[in-house]
């Protein structure tokens, strides 16, 4: 199983030597005992036997120790290989519906031990903690080669832990794109489920976008670049990767910014893998964040690449206005961000939507173009929403004539961002969701303003 080598040494020439002729016979009388060349005496024979016994006493314990070390090494290797096999087998059992052999090989190459992770994070020191989410805490660490990493330690109490762990390994390990956060490794040992990502220094988009001071560092050029980067990342997920991925939880909080303020889509715990020729699916369990989920997903549990497009449209409008959709409060006539943008667009006041912190340094045609693309993405009719290939083309072309947006889907805000984790899709749940923010406590069955 392992490479080895053998070394032979002797005190006489044993390779390539030429044998000499036999010594001539002599009729000389025998030499006396103990004389040079004579037969050994009885005392000499006794010394030889004592030396032999001494060598035997030394050699036997050494042989026993060598055998014991060999047995212990064999048992250790066997246990280690078995442990690794069981770990990879657990990963294999988690990863279902995808090519098993390829996944195991990929997983093995990314596997870290818990001891290594503890060294990297200084035993999960509080000083190394850089964030905390619904599925656990995130720590900053440094690998042996000096590379900075973000270590995501999934909470043991989270019911979503195993599902998230499976999705993050299967999805992210197979994806390579500059606008997607890169998975560097994982650890599955005992009850621990740990993911290791590249470290992205500038936190998430919402940290800048919705803070009155931090948003000043996001001028229009940077915002426009962020919109384009997110679009390219989604295009890769939907069409250009070896798998077709529906993210299902795209929002500003899941967009990380690197040192150049370029976006990287993160958090694939809710992602779903579709077949190469499949672009949609159904589930009786919905998961995501209110205000970003497409209406067909919240109503019928139907997710598709177009539901990601809807979420992207909401993110575009947040980037332009600097306002958070889930906590939006502007006037009685506009109870959510999408409706607020639609009313301004309908009146021909698209530029009035721009975040005041940007100032006067912006390109008017780019702002209007992005508002229009955002409204096209949040169309209630799924068939009217563009695919991401069209979105990227519209954002990169100044000569293309964009379609006219229609009235978008309407959501009543509950004034707080609420993440839905595997909520069953049924009529009672839908009515409960809609009545949470109803002013008169009545059920709303149509998602249009009255």
Strand segments (E) across 247-307: 255-257, 263-265, 272-274, 280-282, 285-289, 302-304
Class of domain 205-435: mainly alpha
Asked if pLDDT for residue 421 goes beyond 60, the answer is no
pLDDT of residue 137: 87
Residue 109 has pLDDT above 60, yes or no: yes
pLDDT for the residue 134? 63
Q: Do domains 108-198 and 205-435 have the same CATH topology?
A: no
**What gap in Å lies between CA 116 and CA 9, rounded to an integer?**
41
H helices of 359-398, where? 364-377, 388-396
Say whether pLDDT at 96 is over 60: no
Arithmetic mean of pLDDT, 117-146: 88
Looking at the chain, the whole-number percentage of residues with pLDDT higher than 90 is 36
pLDDT in tens, 193-228: 888 999 999 989 999 999 989 999 999 999 999 999
pLDDT for res 433? 37
Conformational region of residue 415, where left means phi above 0, alpha means psi within -120 to 50, and beta covers everything else: left
Token pair for 15: 């390779």
How sure is the predictor about 430, in pLDDT bands with cuts at 50, 70 and 90?
very low
Contact (Cβ atoms closer than 8 angstroms) between residue 197 and residue 184: yes
Q: Which helix (H) or strand (E) holds 133?
A: strand 129-133
Task: Report residue 161's pLDDT band, with 50, 70 and 90 as the boundaries.
Answer: low
Q: Are 364 and 351 spatial neighbours (Cβ–Cβ below 8 Å)? A: yes
Contact 315, 250 (CB under 8 A): yes
d(CA 66, CA 37): 40
CB atoms within 10 A of CB 196: 23
Domain boundary assignment for the chain: 108-198, 205-435
β partners of residue 152: 138, 195
At residue 159, the pLDDT reads 53
- List Cβ neighbours of 49 (8 Å cut-off, separation of 6 or more): none
Mean pLDDT rounded to a whole number for the chain:
76
Q: Torsion over CA of 152, 106, 204 and 380, rounded to 10 degrees?
A: -120
Rg, the chain, Cα only: 35
Share of the chain above pLDDT 70, in %: 67
Q: What is the pLDDT of residue 25?
A: 53
| pLDDT surpassing 50 at residue 353 | yes
Site of tokens 């800048």: 208
Cβ atoms of 150 and 197 within 8 Å: the answer is: yes
* pLDDT confidence of residue 444: 28
The pLDDT score that the predictor gives to residue 139 is 94
DSSP three-state, residue 69: helix
Per the listing, tokens 């798998």 go with 243
**CB-CB neighbours of 29 under 10 Å:** 6
Structure confidence at residue 303 as a pLDDT band (50, 70, 90): confident
Q: Residue 217 and residue 228: Cα distance in Å, rounded?
A: 18
Q: Is the pTM of this model over 0.75?
A: no
In this prediction, residue 435 has a pLDDT band, given cuts at 50, 70 and 90, of: very low
Over residues 17-51, the pLDDT tens digits come to 555 555 555 555 555 555 555 555 556 656 667 77
- pLDDT surpasses 90 at 261: yes
**CATH code at 108-198:** 3.30.200.20
Residues noted as catalytic:
249
Q: What pLDDT digit, counting tens, does each position of 313-351 carry?
A: 999 999 999 999 877 765 545 678 998 999 999 999 999
Query: What six digits make up the tokens of 439?
Result: 């002013």
């Amino acid at each position: 199983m392992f490479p080895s080598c053998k070394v032979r040494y002797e005190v006489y020439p044993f390779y390539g030597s030429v044998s000499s002729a036999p010594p001539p016979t002599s009729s000389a009388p025998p030499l006396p005992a103990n004389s040079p060349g004579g037969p050994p005496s009885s005392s000499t024979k006794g010394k030889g036997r004592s030396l032999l016994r001494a060598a035997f006493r030394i050699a036997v314990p050494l042989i026993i120790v060598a055998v014991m070390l060999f047995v212990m090494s064999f048992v250790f290797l066997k246990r280690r290989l078995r442990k690794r096999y069981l770990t990879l087998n657990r990963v294999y059992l988690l990863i279902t519906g995808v090519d098993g052999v390829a996944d195991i090989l990929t997983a093995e190459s990314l596997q870290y031990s818990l001891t290594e992770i503890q060294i990297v994070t200084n035993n999960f020191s509080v000083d190394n903690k850089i964030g905390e989410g619904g599925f656990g805490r995130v720590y900053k660490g440094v690998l042996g080669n000096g590379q900075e990493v973000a270590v995501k330690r999934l909470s043991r109490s989270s019911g979503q832990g195993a599902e998230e762990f499976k999705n993050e390994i299967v999805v992210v390990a197979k994806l390579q794109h500059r606008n997607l956060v890169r998975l560097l490794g994982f650890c599955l040992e005992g009850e621990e489920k740990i993911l290791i990502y590249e470290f992205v220094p500038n936190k998430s988009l919402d940290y800048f976008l919705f803070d009155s001071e931090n948003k000043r560092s996001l001028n229009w050029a940077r915002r426009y670049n962020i919109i384009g980067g997110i679009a390219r990342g989604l295009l890769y997920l939907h069409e250009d990767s070896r798998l077709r991925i529906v993210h299902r939880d795209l929002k500003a909080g899941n967009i990380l910014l690197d040192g150049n303020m370029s976006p990287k889509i993160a958090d694939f715990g809710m992602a779903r893998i579709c077949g190469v020729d499949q672009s949609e699916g159904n589930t009786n369990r919905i998961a995501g964040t209110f205000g970003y989920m497409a209406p067909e997903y919240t109503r019928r549990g139907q997710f598709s690449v177009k539901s990601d497009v809807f979420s992207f449209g909401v993110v575009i409008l947040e980037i332009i206005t600097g306002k958070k959709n889930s906590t939006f409060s502007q006037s009685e006539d506009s109870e959510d961000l999408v409706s607020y943008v639609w009313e301004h667009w309908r009146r021909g006041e698209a530029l009035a939507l721009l975040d005041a912190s940007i100032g006067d340094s912006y390109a008017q045609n780019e702002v209007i173009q992005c508002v229009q693309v955002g409204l096209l993405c949040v169309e209630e009719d799924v068939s009217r929403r563009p695919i991401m290939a069209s979105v990227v083309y519209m954002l990169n072309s100044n000569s293309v004539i964009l379609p006219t947006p229609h009235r978008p889907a309407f959501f009543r805000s509950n004034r707080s961002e609420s993440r839905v984790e595997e909520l069953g899709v049924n009529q009672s749940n839908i009515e409960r969701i809609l009545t949470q923010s109803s002013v008169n406590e009545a059920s709303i069955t149509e998602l249009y303003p009255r």
